[in-house]
Structures are given as C-alpha cells and as structure tokens.
Structure 1
Amino acid sequence: MWLVFYNTSFWIDTVHAMWHGDIASGGFLVSLLVLVLCLQAMLLLLLPSRRLMVGVASALFILAALSSYFSMKYGIVMDKDMLRNVFETNSVESRGLISSGLMARVAVLGVVPALLVWTVRLPSIEWSRRLRMRAVAVAGILLVCALALFAASASYAVFFREYKPIRFTLMPAAPLISAIGVWFDHAKGSGGSVVNVSGQARRTTPVHARPIVLVMVVGETARAANFQLAGYSRPTNPELSAQPGLIYFPDTTSCGTATAISVPCMFSHLSRRAFDVDEAWRYTNVLDALHEAGLDVEWRDNNAGCKGVCVRITQIDYVGHKDSQLCRDSYCYDEKMLEDLPARIDMLTRDTVIVLHQIGSHGPAYAERYPPEFEQFKPACHSNQLQRCTAAGIVNAYDNTIVYTDHVLARTIEILRRASDRVDSMLLYVSDHGESLGEQGLYLHGLPYAFAPDTQKKVPMLMWLSSSYMVRSGTVLDCVKSQAAKSFSHDNIYHTMLGALEVRNISYDSTLDILAPCRGAQEPSDGA
C-alpha cells in the first residue's frame, strides 16, 4: 500500500528524471521498485514485537497520508528543513493548512488502514524461532537491495547525486527519517550556555540628544518577482512607488527557503554558508549585540514566533488577539502591529530598534492575509486548497498580499516621518524567503536550498532614511541609491544594522554593511 497509494509524487518525479525510453532506464525503474519495497518492509521487520509493529504501522499510515497530500498538491519535500518548519508551526498556522481534501485523504488512506492493521493476526511463534526468521528475512532483504543497486549502479549514481530532492518525497520513510534527524540534531545541540563570540558591543559615538529609531520589518513569503519596485508589470507597490527617498534593492537573496532557517540566519553574524540552524541557539545575534550596547530592542510578532532570535529581548505577540477590525479568524492583519507605534515612538528616550515580524504573504490561504478592501486583483483564490483554484486566481490572491504589505510599509514610513521632529529614523524591510506559485508544478516554499527555484530565494529588500538621520550619520542618499545596483543577501543584515545604529563588535564587517560606503571614509572591518 505504501508503495502504490502514497508515492504518486515520488514515482512521477522519478520517471520524469530517469526514464529515457531504453532498456537501461526501464531496468533501473524495476530495480528501484524492488529496492523501495524491500526498504519499506525493513521499517517494520526490525521491530521486535507484533504490538509494536502494528502500532508503528498505524502511525506510519497516518504520517504517509498527511505527507503525501502536501507532497502531491504543493510539491513539498519532507527533508529536515521542512520537518523543522513543521515542528515550529503553531496551532493557528496549522489550521490554515487544513482542508476538506486533506481530511478526506487522512480518513481514507490514514485512519482506515491504521485501524484495519490491528485486525491482522500473526501466528504465535517461540521468540528464538521468530528471531531467526526475522534475521533470515532481513538478510534476504539486504541481499536483494544489494542486487538491485548493483544491477543499475550507474543509474543510481546519477539518481542519488543529481536528483536528491526526489528521495524526500518517498512515503512514509522520508518524513520519518527526517523527523528522527531533526530530533537527533536538537538533542545534540541542547544544553549549554549561549556564547558571545562577537565580543563586547560598543557605541562608536556619544549618546545623542535625539534618539535613533530603526524599524526593521521582517517580511513573510514575499518574493521579489511580484514587487512592482523590482519591475513587475502589475501595480503591487502603488504607495511605496510614490515615497520620496525610498531605496529598493532588486538583487537580494535569502539565507533559506523557510522561516525556521532564514529568520535566525539573517540576524546571525555567520554567513549563509557557515550558518547551522541547529547551532544557532548557541550564539548571540545582532539584537543581543544592540541590547548589550544600551539600545532598547523590541520584537513584535504577527507570525509563528521569532525562531529563538528574540528570547533575550522584549517580545509582543499578536497571534490570537481578538479585534473586530484587524484580527479575524486566525492571524491579525499586519497593521495591528502599528496601532500603538506612534505613541511608542513619542515615548522614546533611548536609541531603539523595533522589529515587526509580519504574516505577510503566508500561504496557502493568501486571501486571509489582507483586508477585503485590498483585493485589487480579481478573481482571487479564497481557498487554502490551491488545486481548486485557477493559476490566475492564485497569483491574484498572492499579489493582493503584496499590495497590502505595500500599504503597511508606507504607513510605517509615514509614522516615522511624522515623528521626525523628535527622532532620527530609518526603516529596513526584507522578506525571509520567497514562494512558488505553480511554476514547474511547485507551490509554497521550503525546497532544499540547492534545488529551490529563484522564486523561493530572491526576496524584496528596501530602505527608507529620514533626512535628519542622513544628516546625523553623514549618509549620502545618492550613494545609497548607487549601492542598490549591487547584489546583496541576508548576510548583509547583521552588519548593516550595527553600522546604521553606531554600534560595533569584532564580528562587524564594513564590507558587508550596505551603508558603510555612503557614510564617508570606509571604516575598517574591526570597527577600530
């Protein structure tokens, strides 16, 4: 049953990748069929007792039904990064993924076989004989697997090397093995204290009479391809396009393809290549450095948490708030985070960083992310079952989320502009990752980084600086605009935030600070 009913995506992708219309590719597919059947059998044969076998089989039917649904409908692969994202998803976010199609599949291919497997009666055999039988069976399976691999070794070398994501669509083995891997990584990384490898954070200028305020907006699932500011043909940024002094960075790359990776990575001193999400909790991040330097640092969350980034600073959580205008159904609309922002800025006495973590364009229920009056593109898909919507309806709903994000960012800039008589301010916006909207049959996000399309990795980034901030910091706007022609990534966020807020530590690298060339003479990378 696992081989046939739960692995549609696996077999379709495998045939598409490996079938060449010749005997060799046909032999490979036959050997792979045998190999998968044997390995699936091994999942249960290694268990010592009937009760344990039946219990595990029941759980795996449920797991296979759930995982195969998302793999088949959205092209999702069940690797460790995706499972890590699943484990960090809150109940509200999970409800947005529940649909009648999912429930029907879990009932028919999950619950029913999970119950039926308990009706299987195995003969009572003495434990020593049972052990010998199992040993013979396992030895036989390993021999068959070895023969299957040997029979098409050249094809397997290509399959395992060039088409790695396909193996993470094999049910129920892929989600099971990935979940075990995540658990081991977590167990290996748990315990111990947080280490500050960046040294003491220190101010580079005396405390100023006027506070600096940086509003850092962490976008969710916004892809650069659908930003008007990046050249998209649709007017998805009507308000930001009219903002004087706004700088958009058209070539920006994310650190990961899922929130659980990208958010801790963008605030880390480590580059994407050096970053390990399982080790991230061990090290302080840029928000810790700013707090250590004497700044007030606040994290406002309208998403599924800060992924460990904000554990040592002030946190405000908007998920679950009840508000007739801005909080409906699951999440609040992102404007909820702005309600008391003017009053908060009026009360500032110290340099301050306020992070707004948006729900943004989180799918598949895109139409739930914006108020009805922002439904500019119609007809829009209003279902979380994207397969029931047209391609145009999905894109329309997604583009409406970008229009609403445009409005939220423009409102934030206006709040900062109105406070310009009291504070020196700037806004920095960057999305955590992008999204697939049906291109190449892919939906949502979370593919392994090496194989993910650019739509999941190319993200929008923009900046706005108040006139008073530019005077205070010596930043030249035309220079910043010229910087926008360069390529940037999440690797630049840590250093740009430190530089903009006049804070340095030994991890600060001026070559990664976007604004450093525009503050006059280039500063040395050690901040001396």
Structure 2
Amino acid sequence: MQTQHVSAAPLSLSIRLRERWAAGIPCSSDIAFAFGVSFIWLVLYNVRFWELSAQAMWHPNVGSVLFMASLGVLAWVVLALLLLLSPTRRVMRVAASLMFVAAAFGAYFMSEYGAIMNQEMMRNVIQTDRAEVGALMNADLALHVVLLGVLPALLLWRVRLPATSWRSQLSRRAIAIVAGLGVAFAGVFANSADYATFFREHKPIRYTLNPIAQIVSMTGLLAGSRESRANEPLIDPAGKVERTAATSAKPLVLFLVIGETARAANFQLGGYGRETNPELKQISGITYFSNTSSCGTSTAISVPCLFSHLPRTGFKVDEAGRYKNLLDSLVQAGFDVQWRDNNSGCKGVCARVTNVDYNQKPDRRYCTDANCFDAVMLDDLPQTLRKIEHDTVIVFHQKGSHGPFYSERYPPEFERFRPACRSNQLQHCSQQEITNAYDNTIAYTDHVLASQIRMLREASSKIDSLLLYVSDHGESLGENGIYLHGMPYAFAPEAQKQVPMLMWTSEGYVRRTQLRPDCLSTEAKLPVSHDFFYHTVLGAAETRNQAYDRRLDLIAGCRRGGGSE
C-alpha cells in the first residue's frame, strides 16, 4: 500500500501540470498582453539600444534620469502599438510570435557584432546567399533563437484571454493607445531639448530598437523597391558613346577587380606593418591609391554605386536599376564585357552583359561546400587571353575577406599569420586571432591579384592591358566592440569606409596612351573615392560619354603630357 501511495504523488503532480498547461496562462486583457510582451522586448531584447542611448545621453544628473525614463516609456508604448493595432487577437498572436523570432535574431547580431538594423542591413538580408547565411550560423545563435525566439513564440499561444466582443476589444484598445501616446508625448515634451539632441545627433540609435527597427526598415525598403520596379524604360545618362583613340594593332583588355571587405588599414602597400602584399610589392607598374573612401559600407550599396555615373551624395540604390550603367557604355563602345562572380551576385549591375556565376558551378579544386576561393575565377584566364581578338573588359567580383568566417576565404597553405580565428563567432576569438585570420585573407587577395597581373603580362605580345582593383567597403575587426560592416555611413568607423585601390598598367598600355607613371604616383597620394571609378574606367578604356567628368578620371592628367587629349 505504501508503494502505491508514493507512486501516486508524482502521477498527481503530472496530472495537475497537464491541467494547468491545458488551461493556459491567464491574461486579463488584450492591453495587458500587448504591454506585457512589449515590456519583455524592451528589457530583454534591447541591451544594445540602452547601451548606445546611455553612451549618447547619460550624464549624472536628474535631467538625464528623467530623459532615460521618458525614453523607456516612449519605446514601450511604440512597441506595444505594434500589437494593439492588430485587427484581431489571432493576428496579434501571429505578429507577436514572428516578432519574438525577429527580436531574437536582432538582439544577437546587435549585441555580438554591433549591427544596426537600418534599410541597408535589411537590403543585405534580402540579397544574401546560402553561403553567406551558412557562414553566420553557429550553435550560440541557434540556442539564442530557440530560447529567446521560438520558445516565447510558442508560449504566446498558451496565453488565455477573456472572452469579450470585438467592439469592446476595439474601444478598450483605442483608449489604451490614446492614453499611452499621451503619457509618452508628455515625457517627450518635458524633455524636448534632450530629444532634439537625441534625434538629430544620434539618428542611428533608433535602428537598434528591437524588433521595430527591422520592421520599419524592411517596410521602407520593400516600398522603395516596388516604386523603382515600375515598368519604365531605362534612363541613359551617358548619351552618345565615343572612342577617343585611333585603332590599335592590339586589343585593349581591362581587368576590373571588385574586392570584398578589404580595408585599407591592413594593406601593406598602404603602410601596414605586416607583409600582407608580398607578391604585389615585387611587381612593377603598380600605383596604389593610399587615401580612398567607399560609396557605402555594404556590397548592396557600393557595387551599384561604383558602376553608376552618380557620386555617392547623389546616389540612391533603390533607383540604380532605372539607369544604364558603366558596363552598358562599354558595350556600346564596342567592348566585349563579361562579369565573373564569386560573391553574392552583381546587384543588378551585370543585368545586360555576359555573367558567369561560380557559385552555380563549383569546381572541386577551388570549392568546398558553398565556398569557393577567388582563384576559381582565374582558371581559364590564360586560354581566354590567348583567344581575345576584340577590346575586352572582364569584371571579377571577389569573395575577398568576407566575414565572419575569415579562415574559409583562403586555402590552408596561405595561412601565414597564426594562430588564426577559425570560428564565425568572432567574440569568442582574441583580437590577435581575428586580425591574423583577416590578414591571411588580404595576403590571399594579394596572390590572386598578382596572378592576374602575371597572366596579363605574359599575354603582352598580343594585348595591351590594365588592371584596376578596389574594394567595395572595409571591415570592423572588433574595435570598440564593432564587428563586420554595414553600419550607416555617417555613423560607421573609418575602418568600414577606407578601402584599398590600386592600378597596374602594362608597358604596352603606357606606350599606347603615353601615360606618365611618375605623374600617376603623385596623383595617387591625393584623397579619392569610389566616385572616381566610373570616369577612370572610361578614361582607361579610351572612351567618352556625356556623363564622363575628366576631373574624376584619375589618369586623365597623366596622359600625353598631362594636357588635353
């Protein structure tokens, strides 16, 4: 009998737990549900938001305390509105569930990498590929999303709300919204001077309020994309395209190499103390531009901007697809143009030229899983160069130094700096390990560029050639707790905006264009930017159109005595 009594207790407890689970979690109203969920987001999922807000606005005085308190109320009300504006309870539960998962992802990337959830970051999310997604996946992220995303999302469906009419729900929500906004606006009004500073001087912080930042940014991005996809003919800013040089006995070949995530600070050619450019340093005919700034801090912005006639200040990525670009002008000028891609696509730039995507046909000699080393784009180059009979432009879009898995961007034999971080969880590696892995990627890029130059040089009896390399953006390696890239341009550290750029010219090209290398070396010390790329390529191709600006052509002043052409 005693045995039966002991076994009945856990059985009874199990029954009670099942009954409670079946009964659900009681909640007094829709309003309590919305404000309760939003309070959880505000406290547990917005560590980065509060850190940045405190750094920007905190001072040890009563005014700062009142401002931070009012900011908490404002953020709480705004987050609650996401749910209170849902038309039905079911929609509110679905929205809250999805936002828990989004908040879990957002909290992880903002906390671990210092990410900002603005439109540029959402564009990166949309345009990423399987390889980039795989590089970001890890056990910590999976556990974070399960515990802080999936589990709370499932628990929401166990919340039991009292039965009330739809009309009653609506009126109570309306009262709560008006009251909440009234309290929030009163706090803003009482601290108006502080809010003026906060919103004017610290705009990027708003893109860390989780999960509303992702929603607002993605909505704005999709709305802008729909407008830009209108069925309108392409705008041609170039107009008539002309060749400015006499016909030559040799075809002209331009290699345009678009680097990925290479930052100028780690290029030996720019003064970095480590040997990250040992091969390029031995090659004659190279000019390194030591003060180059990018158009954006992400591939999705910088690549379309590079090939646009517009300067960074006038460029809008959502409108880029409406214009013909640099490659269109080169085709119109009679060049054979090919885009070779080992990255996540050309972002619309190569829409009207031949496109070779090496992610779609991986070569086992260079590729493992979804990752290919950049040398995969060079395998057939010697044969290609031997067959060229017409003026040709080949664009190489590198994988380069794309993080966070830097150690996957180079073959094992190129690991010169050790120990190297071998994880995509950079926060678990030391600063030196991260730098070592990153520097190995730069050294491998050095090898790839040097290989391309050697191939062009070996074909010099048949072609005149030029290689122009520039990275799309830079990278943060943990400085001030910031990793990777993609921060708002005005807010981004210099490491994400200062990029390497270099030009190599063959002896045949120098003779052909009467180029003065000593003049070019002098010009290379001046501040330049991605704005110069479009016009310099046109100049290098001995081509002009109506959008060409000689002042932005880096070699215009160093040809034919530096005078007019």
TM-score tier by shorter-chain length is over 0.9
Distance across 2 between alignment mates of 1:335 and 1:259:
20
The residue number in structure 1 matching 2:358 is 318
The residue number in structure 2 matching 1:402 is 442
After TM superposition, the score normalised by the length of structure 2 is 0.92
Residue 342 in structure 1 maps to residue 382 in structure 2: yes
Distance across 2 between alignment mates of 1:94 and 1:169:
21
| 2:373 pairs with one of 305, 325, 333 | 333
On the 8 A contact 2:363/2:376 being kept in 1, the answer is no
On the 8 A contact 1:510/1:522 being kept in 2, the answer is no
Amino acid at match of 1:84: R
The residue number in structure 1 matching 2:96 is 57
Instruction: For residue 119 of structure 1, report the CA deviation from its aligned partner.
Output: 1.3
| 1:286 pairs with one of 286, 308, 326 | 326
Q: State the secondary structure of the residue aligned to 1:251.
A: strand
Instruction: For residue 330 of structure 1, report the CA deviation from its aligned partner.
Output: 2.4
The residue number in structure 2 matching 1:173 is 212
| 1:108 pairs with one of 120, 144, 147 | 147
The residue number in structure 1 matching 2:5 is none
Instruction: For residue 206 of structure 1, report the CA deviation from its aligned partner.
Output: 3.6
Instruction: For residue 315 of structure 1, report the CA deviation from its aligned partner.
Output: 0.3
Instruction: For residue 320 of structure 1, report the CA deviation from its aligned partner.
Output: 4.4
On the 8 A contact 2:339/2:397 being kept in 1, the answer is yes
- Equivalent positions of 1:321-400 (< 5 A) are 321-400=361-440
On the 8 A contact 2:336/2:391 being kept in 1, the answer is yes
What do the CA deviations read for 1:448-473 (whole angstroms, capped 9, x no partner)?
A: 10111110000000010000011011
The residue number in structure 2 matching 1:73 is 112
On the 8 A contact 2:510/2:516 being kept in 1, the answer is yes
Distance across 2 between alignment mates of 1:237 and 1:321:
30
Residue 118 in structure 1 maps to residue 191 in structure 2: no
Q: Give the aligned length.
A: 525
| 1:485 pairs with one of 525, 546, 554 | 525
**Percent same amino acid among aligned pairs?**
54
The residue number in structure 2 matching 1:155 is 194
The residue number in structure 1 matching 2:505 is 465
Instruction: For residue 86 of structure 1, report the CA deviation from its aligned partner.
Output: 1.0
Instruction: For residue 127 of structure 1, report the CA deviation from its aligned partner.
Output: 2.2
Instruction: For residue 380 of structure 1, report the CA deviation from its aligned partner.
Output: 0.3
On the 8 A contact 1:13/1:166 being kept in 2, the answer is yes
On the 8 A contact 1:216/1:354 being kept in 2, the answer is yes
Q: State the secondary structure of the residue aligned to 1:250.
A: strand
Instruction: For residue 522 of structure 1, report the CA deviation from its aligned partner.
Output: 5.6
On the 8 A contact 1:510/1:523 being kept in 2, the answer is no
| 1:500 pairs with one of 527, 540, 549 | 540
Q: State the secondary structure of the residue aligned to 1:138.
A: helix
Instruction: For residue 523 of structure 1, report the CA deviation from its aligned partner.
Output: 6.8
The residue number in structure 2 matching 1:38 is 77
What do the CA deviations read for 1:75-107 (whole angstroms, capped 9, x no partner)?
A: 000001111111100112111111111100000
After TM superposition, the score normalised by the length of structure 1 is 0.98
Gaps spanning 5+ residues in structure 2: where?
1-39
Amino acid at match of 2:179: G
Distance across 1 between alignment mates of 2:497 and 2:393:
26
Residue 295 in structure 1 maps to residue 335 in structure 2: yes
| 1:419 pairs with one of 444, 459, 465 | 459
Moved more, 420-429 or 473-482: 473-482
The residue number in structure 2 matching 1:274 is 314
What do the CA deviations read for 1:60-83 (whole angstroms, capped 9, x no partner)?
A: 000000011000000000001111
Q: State the secondary structure of the residue aligned to 1:460.
A: strand
Q: State the secondary structure of the residue aligned to 1:269.
A: coil
On the 8 A contact 1:50/1:122 being kept in 2, the answer is no
Amino acid at match of 2:90: R
Instruction: For residue 437 of structure 1, report the CA deviation from its aligned partner.
Output: 0.5
Residue 6 in structure 1 maps to residue 45 in structure 2: yes
Instruction: For residue 208 of structure 1, report the CA deviation from its aligned partner.
Output: 2.1
| 1:210 pairs with one of 238, 250, 254 | 250
What do the CA deviations read for 1:146-183 (whole angstroms, capped 9, x no partner)?
A: 11211211111111111111111110010111000101
Name which one, 1 or 2, has greater alpha-carbon Rg: 2
Gaps spanning 5+ residues in structure 1: where?
none
RMSD over aligned Cα atoms: 1.1
Distance across 1 between alignment mates of 2:247 and 2:345:
32
Amino acid at match of 1:5: L
Moved more, 124-133 or 283-292: 124-133
The residue number in structure 1 matching 2:560 is 520
Distance across 2 between alignment mates of 1:394 and 1:180:
35
On the 8 A contact 1:498/1:504 being kept in 2, the answer is yes
The structure that is helix-richer by fraction is: 2
Moved more, 474-483 or 178-187: 474-483
Distance across 1 between alignment mates of 2:162 and 2:45:
29
Distance across 2 between alignment mates of 1:8 and 1:46:
25
Amino acid at match of 1:88: Q
On the 8 A contact 1:320/1:330 being kept in 2, the answer is no
Moved more, 204-213 or 415-424: 204-213
